[in-house]
Amino acid sequence: MSSPYKAMAILLADTSGGETLHPLNKHRAKAAIPFGGKYRLIDFSLTNCLHSNIRQILVLTQFKSHSLHKHIRDGWSIFNPELGEYITLLPPQMRTGQDWYKGDADAIYQNLYILERSKADYFIIGYGDHIYRMDYEPLIEFHIANNADLTLTVMSHDIDTASEYGVVGLDENQQVSRFHEKPEKPWHLPGEPDKTLISTGVYVVSRDVLFDLVKKDQETKASTHHMGEDIIPRIIRSHRVFGYQFGGDKGRVSQDRYWRNITNLDAFFDANMDLLNAEPPINLYQPDWPIRTYSGQYPPARTVPGLLGNEGISINSIINSGSVISGGSVQESILFHNVVVEDEAQVQRSILFDDVVIKAGASVQNCIIEKRVVIPNNMNIGFDYDEDIKHFHVTPAGIVVISRSAMEKFQ
């Protein structure tokens, strides 16, 4: 079923670069980072488009995009071009010059040639590395009902950490009265001194308005060519800019009101650990809103006795297909595909990507372990900060990130 609105989605996937999740995005785009035992970050935004019946999607890519392109090819080749459906990957085309994308507004500007050829009346603009579920159709309906030029999706947020986001002020009609990208001192909501309103980075823009805004932004010499930093603050007096409350009661998605922008490794770790709560704050189990991804043809996961006779144990963990716990113990952890935990090995509160092997007698806790890493027999990681930091990347919260290159000295 197609959308009743002529809408196209533009998903921005690492158009500005940066390595805020280093070393996890040393060799892959942030949007392609594995999450939750089987997904990639990009799957959440793409799923929102799919279930919102938006079947024309542009994914603007730039840095380290091979694994992202491969994942979308393998897991998302489901649309029918004969019905006008598609996902198109757009690295910089150099149509407007020799520059790579300099920001999200510039990325859109560089692809105006394609946007202008579309028949879309409205454009949903979002990011490929945010974790949330949202039905976009009520957002478009709100945009149309208010005769808006631009609509931001907004949500309440703790004021202590709001300086990482765009902070929004609304009047009684939900029209944006002020906007500041990453302010040092965010203002609070009326009567709620510990809360403010932030933009989630999901926008609806009317066709002609978008084209005009990004063209004028190119003519502004002082612009950094970003929506939040340049365009939105500049137009709230001259255009009809509204705020749509994220997680309202309209739409087909069950309202868990969960939204995360994975800004650093600790946020990534915490978002994964959220899934292990007795009642996870994001609902991945809504039957008519499944998160789509690519899953290979792996055998079932299982726990089996090891060679020493120890039972394989899994407690409050996510264990994906192909993984075998053979006489080891896994607690409060997330195991991706084809992970092996051998005799008397212990995994506690950790995330293990595809094809990780924890050899007999080894122990890891509070770790993120990259794909194809082998932890040698009887090695302990995550128990001694001073020792861990000599060999691995350790986050401010003490999470140890183990890459293949860091393990070479132990092989």
- Angle value at C-alpha 92, between 235 and 21, nearest 5 degrees: 80
Could you list the beta-strand ranges (E) of 216-294: 241-245, 259-261
Alpha carbon distance 139, 149 (integer Å):
13
The owner of tokens 């005009």 is 212
Kindly report, residue by residue over 99-141, the tens digit of the pLDDT.
899 999 999 999 999 999 999 999 999 999 999 999 999 999 9
Retrieve residue 237's tokens: 């007096």
**Exposure letters 118-157 (e unless 16+ CB within 10 A, then b):** eebebbbbbbbbbbbbbbbbbbbbbbeebebbbbbbbbbb
Assess contact for 62 and 14: CB atoms under 8 A: yes
In which band, very low, low, confident or very high, does the pLDDT at 52 lie, cut at 50, 70 and 90? Answer: very high
Phi, psi (rounded to 5 degrees) for 215: -70, -45
Alpha carbon distance 297, 339 (integer Å):
15
**Residue 2 clears pLDDT 60, i.e. is over it:** no
**Residue 19 clears pLDDT 80, i.e. is over it:** no
Q: Where are the alpha helices (DSSP H) in 336-399?
A: 385-391
Kindly report, residue by residue over 247-299, the tens digit of the pLDDT.
988 999 998 999 999 999 999 999 999 999 999 999 999 999 999 999 999 99
- Residue 398 CB partners (closer than 8 Å, separation 6+): 366, 385
Kindly report, residue by residue over 351-407, the tens digit of the pLDDT.
999 999 999 999 999 999 999 999 999 999 999 999 999 999 999 999 999 999 999
Which pLDDT score, from 0 to 100, does residue 255 have? 87
**Residue 222 clears pLDDT 70, i.e. is over it:** yes
Which pLDDT score, from 0 to 100, does residue 4 have? 72
Retrieve residue 409's tokens: 């000295």
Would you mind telling me the total number of residues written for the chain in this entry? Answer: 411
Assess contact for 375 and 357: CB atoms under 8 A: yes
Which pLDDT score, from 0 to 100, does residue 131 have? 98
Which pLDDT score, from 0 to 100, does residue 256 have? 93
Domains and CATH numbers, the chain: 7-274 (3.90.550.10), 302-410 (2.160.10.10)
Kindly report, residue by residue over 306-324, the tens digit of the pLDDT.
999 999 999 999 999 999 9
**Residue 167 clears pLDDT 80, i.e. is over it:** yes
Give me the amino acid identity at 226. H
Q: Taking all residues of the chain, what is their mean pLDDT, rounded to a whole number?
A: 95
pTM for the whole thing? 0.95
Alpha carbon distance 323, 240 (integer Å):
53
**Residue 204 clears pLDDT 80, i.e. is over it:** yes
